[in-house]
A and B are shown apart, each in its own frame.
Chain A
Amino acid sequence: MTERKPIADGLFTWPSDNPALLGSRCRQCKIAEFPCKASCPACGSEEVAVEELPRRGKLWTWTIQGFMPKSPYNSGETVDTFTPYGVGYIELPGAVCVESRLVENTTRDLAIGMDMELVIETFRYDDVGNEIVTFAFKAVN
């Protein structure tokens, strides 16, 4: 029996009908961080609490990864099947700017400031056939 599994625990709520990224927020200086950390990168406080980050935000910057990265990249692709993928930072209001793969992967479809929303997509299959999922952001039409 194979299942859909997240690429790492604690990155986003899973399983869930409406997944969200999980961040930590500092009780001292109120800043948020992704992924969750045991201490605050701004002040070093260990008074941090986990929270769900906003699911929508704006594209802060982006690029397209044109070549297949070396290991530890592990998407199940080969150099022949590799598809360039979009990468960007998404400003999540009131929280933090998160780096993510993007569903869009052409210059035509990407622009700084565009609205984006979180999706969970298949990234690869592991050796026993489980579907490994990760987070990405997708342009909102």
Chain B
Amino acid sequence: MDVAIVGIGIHPFGRTPERSGLQQGAFAARLALKDAGVEWRDMQFGFGGSASAGSADALVNELGLTGMPFINVANGCATGGSALLSAYNAIKSGEYDIGIVVGFDKHDRGAFNADPRQMGIGAWYGETGLMLTTQFFAMKIQRYMHAFNISAGTLAKVASKAFSNGAKNPNAWRREEISEEEILTSTMISDPLTKFMFCAPGEGGVALVICRADQARRYTDRPVYLKGAALRSRRYGSFEVFAPSQALQQVDGPTVDTSRAAFDMAGVGPRDIDVLQLQDTESGAEVMHMAENGFCEHGEQEALIQAGETAIGGKLPVNTDGGCLASGEPIGATGLRQVYETCLQLRGDAGPRQVPNNPKLGYTHVYGAPGISAVTILQR
């Protein structure tokens, strides 16, 4: 059973003091239902997640107590991707015809600081200041730059592109362009990454109505089909966040495995993709994820990015909505934001940030602690 996305909704990302995270999720859900021309009571199931804004299943209190099965999903930054994968499988199994996926969040200011005990690590790890996602990303790109000759200027270019794309997106948090010079000279957070090269924990919500592909035209004349959806966790030997030690012999990370699985499922390859959204928790992540998802060889990013190929008008448009850098990172919503943006691009509804290549195939990728990736391949 093929699966289609027939309704999409988003609550603007950023800071919305007047609405709780849950209300932002409900806001997005109402828009997605309206987009598909359906009612909440038509939903046969729901999957949703939030890391810091309460239980997603409490949405039923906001939207109507219909008795539908609603399951909470929690997989770090891969929560949105995991919720969508769960919904995808629910339809594919033949058990349900139509349902909803929702992700939302609302985080405090400042970097995330995780609790080691939740990861099975001793308290000393957090106490001595080793358990920060920012450090991990800095150390990963530091090694990568050394191995593959990536320049600090390229990290700055990734961030300036994100803010430039965000400036064209009414739902982005940061909608002002920032120059490469300003990005490079802003406060150094964790060498080689400066303040403007990191995304910030934020708020937002996204919802999708999905259904059996053979019923999609009942709801929309522009369905987007889920051709591939995959999720993998890390194997021994991949370099992951929250690891007090790691193997001497490195293997590919979960993103590489997930990407391959999704491409196999969809029967297409990286060259067929017209627009892509990659997890860009910071500038270096976007650079590394380009290669880990198969869109270039390791080291080729330097020339591609410098030539502007990852910008909206380039041959490999990445993070057209501004990504996490411009949108912020509400953990539960990020994976679904990527899918929302890809649907807009495939429908031709992305306005001033529409990619000009008449896109037919889109790709989304999230990566979460402690080593989980989720990928979708979408086709109009």
Contacts and interface: CB of A to CB of B under 8 A. Distances in A.
A129 interface: no
B135 A65 contact: yes
B191 A107 contact: yes
Contact of B140 (A31, A41, A61, A71): A61
Interface in A82-140: 85, 87-89, 91, 95-101, 107, 112, 123, 134
Given A66-B187, A89-B246, A134-B124, A72 B115 contact: yes
Contacts of A96: 245-248
B93 interface: no
Contact of A61 (B124, B126, B143, B189): B143
Nearest to B139: A61
Contacts of B131: 72
Interface string B69-102: 0000000000000000000000000000000000
Contact of A23 (B236, B245, B246): B245
A66 B189 contact: yes
Contact of A74 (B116, B127, B142, B192): B127
B113 A97 contact: no
A99 B245 contact: yes
Q: How large is the interface on A (under 10, 10 to 19, 20 to 34, 35 or more residues)?
A: 35 or more
Contacts of B244: 34-35, 98-99
Interface in B8-64: none
B248 A65 contact: no
B123 interface: yes
B153 interface: no
A72 B123 contact: yes
A66 B124 contact: no
Nearest to B113: A70
Contacts of A35: 122, 244-245
Contacts of A98: 244-245
Contact of A8 (B124, B132, B243): B124
Given A96-B247, A98-B245, A66 B129 contact: no
A101 B245 contact: no
Interface string B229-266: 00000001100000111111000000000000000000
B14 to A, nearest CB: 22
Contact of A72 (B127, B189, B191): B127
B138 interface: yes
Contacts of B122: 8, 11, 35
Nearest to A94: B248
B35 to A, nearest CB: 39
Contacts of B124: 7-8, 11, 134
B126 A112 contact: no
Interface centre among A34, A87, A98 (most CB of B within 10 A): A87
Given A63-B138, A72-B113, 16 more contacts: A34-B245, A63-B139, A66-B189, A69-B129, A71-B113, A72-B123, A72-B131, A85-B129, A87-B129, A89-B139, A96-B248, A97-B245, A97-B247, A97-B248, A99-B245, A112-B143
24 contacts: A7-B128, A11-B124, A34-B245, A60-B143, A63-B139, A63-B190, A63-B191, A63-B193, A64-B191, A65-B190, A67-B189, A72-B113, A72-B126, A75-B127, A87-B129, A87-B130, A96-B248, A97-B246, A97-B248, A98-B245, A99-B243, A99-B244, A112-B142, A134-B124
